[in-house]
Amino acid sequence: MGLIYLNGLSESPSVKDINKAFYWLNLAAKQNYDEAEFYLGQIYHYGYDNTGPNYRIAIYWYEKAAEKGNEQAQINCANIYQFGPQEFQNINKAKYWLQKAVQKDNPIAHANLGIIGIQENKYAEAIPHLKIAAEKGQRLGQYNYGTLFFNGQGVPKDIRQAKYWFEKAATQNLPIAQITLGQIYAWGLDGNGINKEEALLWLNKAKAQGQFTDKQINAIISKKID
């Protein structure tokens, strides 16, 4: 019932009512239903109506659901600890919940643990997580796995292998992957010479998502790399 009032019905959107959603979700949460706890966390995480996020309350509900094994709550809670506002960031807590989700082979958890491994220069820990995430089609995993090959971090430097994974992520509309691919083609970093047409294709895809400007595109296209 709480979800009906939270999301409305496709045939009757007017059913949506945040106050009734809170009532029913809180009622279910008092009976320790992890799904209700998760959705309460989500409401506070992303905000509702004209009310902004409340990360402290979001974490409270997410952790209650996460402790019961709710996989999405584990991921979302870790997301706040890893990527949220500075005052809520706690990498150890992020790792804790990601490791719980990794036990269920969650690709997002693998990707985000891999990202932490890169940030901590622990490439031996990052590689297996990113490999799994990349092979499961998780775009952040694909991009970050590619960066290991691009930079030669924990693996032999291999631009073609890096490009392979960047393309996988870029085709899933990850802007940073599209921009990186654009740079590879614009500067001929893959050993195949400069390909401005292909570079513009990918850079314009990032621009279409509001993540890049014409000025930035021109700077990449006109830059000379020795």
- Which are the contacts of 87, defined by CB distance < 8 A and separation ≥ 6? none
| Structure confidence at residue 8 (pLDDT) | 42
CB–CB of 161/149 below 8 Å? yes
Percentage of the residues of the chain whose pLDDT score is greater than 90 = 86
pTM over 0.85: yes
Going by pLDDT thresholds of 50, 70 and 90, the confidence category of residue 16 is low
Q: According to CATH, what is the number of the domain 1-96?
A: 1.25.40.10
The mean predicted confidence, pLDDT, of the chain is 92
Residue 191, both tokens = 């050993």
Average pLDDT estimate for 37-43: 95
In angstroms, rounded to a whole number, what is the distance separating the alpha carbons of residues 62 and 139? 24
CB–CB of 148/118 below 8 Å? yes
User: Among 15-24, 31-40, 132-141, which is the least confidently predicted range?
Assistant: 15-24
CB–CB of 134/115 below 8 Å? no
Q: Is the pLDDT of residue 1 over 50?
A: no
| Structure confidence at residue 12 (pLDDT) | 40
| Structure confidence at residue 29 (pLDDT) | 95
Q: Is the pLDDT of residue 18 over 90?
A: no
User: Among 1-10, 21-30, 35-44, 121-130, which is the least confidently predicted range?
Assistant: 1-10
| Structure confidence at residue 224 (pLDDT) | 60
Residue 210, both tokens = 């509001």
Domain residue spans in the chain? 1-96, 105-166, 173-226
Angle value at C-alpha 76, between 60 and 167, nearest 5 degrees: 165
Choose between 2 and 193: higher pLDDT.
193
- pLDDT tens figures, 100-146: 999 999 999 999 999 999 999 999 999 999 999 999 999 999 999 99
Q: Is the pLDDT of residue 13 over 60?
A: no
Going by pLDDT thresholds of 50, 70 and 90, the confidence category of residue 9 is very low
| Structure confidence at residue 79 (pLDDT) | 98
